[in-house]
Amino acid sequence: LVTVGANGATFSTQDATTWTPGTSGTTANLNAVQYRNSVFVAVGDSGTILTSPDAITWTPRTSPTTNALTALAGSGSGQVIVVGSKGTILVSTNSTDWSTVVSGTTNDLYGITYGNGRYVAVGAGGTLLSSTDGSKWTTLASPTSANLRGIEYGSVTASATATAPTVATFIAVGAAGTVIASTDGTTWTARPPIAANDLAAVSYGTRFVAVGSAGSAFTTEDGVTWTPAVTGTTQNLNAVTFTVLTAKSIGVGYEAVGDQGTNLTGF
């Protein structure tokens, strides 16, 4: 498990308890990291792109932009897409060489995911973009004008019964508890706000988990009714992921990170 942060900070762990700092070689704020094409890829301010095979030693990669980079996603085929400020979208097939593509927007983009054969990116003012190939992007009708900060693809239950079928669903979250959902990634519906808290990120493993300001965290099985989780912190939570840690006796769970080095584990 790897996390990144302000002033080029990188940390990795095998057990979500003991964290080892890496050497990033940059003082730029790092905003996101994923494992793609057998390397960790971290992106951040001023167009920063770094890769590492071990999350300890990082190599800077030539970036075609100086705009802030905020999130990344991959299709599983080797293609990686990075989004950022001013509508920036970058594409790579090897995590080393990067090029820009036309997004069709100048709005800041904050999140991206892949599912149902398409990428969906979200951003300022309710921005929604979709692409099936990572190169040609379409602006989608949005049911909100709130800033959308995170997006994830997973499954929700069709009803509360234990035997209810699941439905593949995109969920995006944002300012003032905003939640919107789509089953195909193109037609979106507003859901009731979770709470007044700004939401920064959402992840899926066995259920959707969203995190945000003042230590807020919420879970849902059906994508409509969200249950608050007790986090024990009032620090803003900025990211959450579902992970597998071989050093954990249970092995799988959620990790959330936030301001002032906050890290929380739910296994």
Tell me the DSSP string of 109-140.
Answer: EEEEEEETTEEEEEEGGG-EEEESSSSS-EEP
Residue 267's pLDDT is 54
Considering just the CA atoms, what is the radius of gyration of the chain in Å? 17
User: What does residue 259 show for φ and ψ, rounded to 5 degrees?
Assistant: -60, 155
**Rounded to 5 degrees, what angle do the CA atoms 7, 253, 195 make?**
75
The total number of residues shown for the chain amounts to 267
Backbone angles phi, psi at 91, to 5 degrees: -135, 145
> What's the confidence (pLDDT) of residue 14?
86
pLDDT reported for residue 15:
82
Question: CA-to-CA distance for 257 and 10, rounded, in angstroms?
Answer: 12
Looking up tokens 């939401």, which residue turns up? 199
| Contact yes or no for 201/150 (Cβ under 8 A) | yes
Percent helix, percent strand, percent coil in the chain, to nearest 5 = 10, 50, 45
Please tell me the predicted confidence (pLDDT) of residue 68: 98
pLDDT at site 221? 93
Q: Measuring CA to CA, which residue among 211, 207, 231 is closest to residue 111?
A: 211
**Cβ pair 228, 207 in contact under 8 A:** no
Contact predicate 177/199, CB 8 Å: yes
pLDDT (tens digit per residue) in 70-83: 999 999 899 999 99
- For the CA atoms of 44, 231, 156, 221, the dihedral, rounded to the nearest 10 degrees, stands at 180
25-35 CB burial, b ≥16 within 10 A, e <16 = ebebbbbbbbe
pLDDT, averaged per 10 consecutive residues of the chain (267 residues), comes to: 96 89 97 96 98 97 98 95 98 98 98 97 98 98 98 85 77 98 97 95 95 97 94 96 68 87 85
pLDDT in tens, 42-90: 999 999 999 999 999 999 999 999 999 999 999 989 999 999 999 999 9
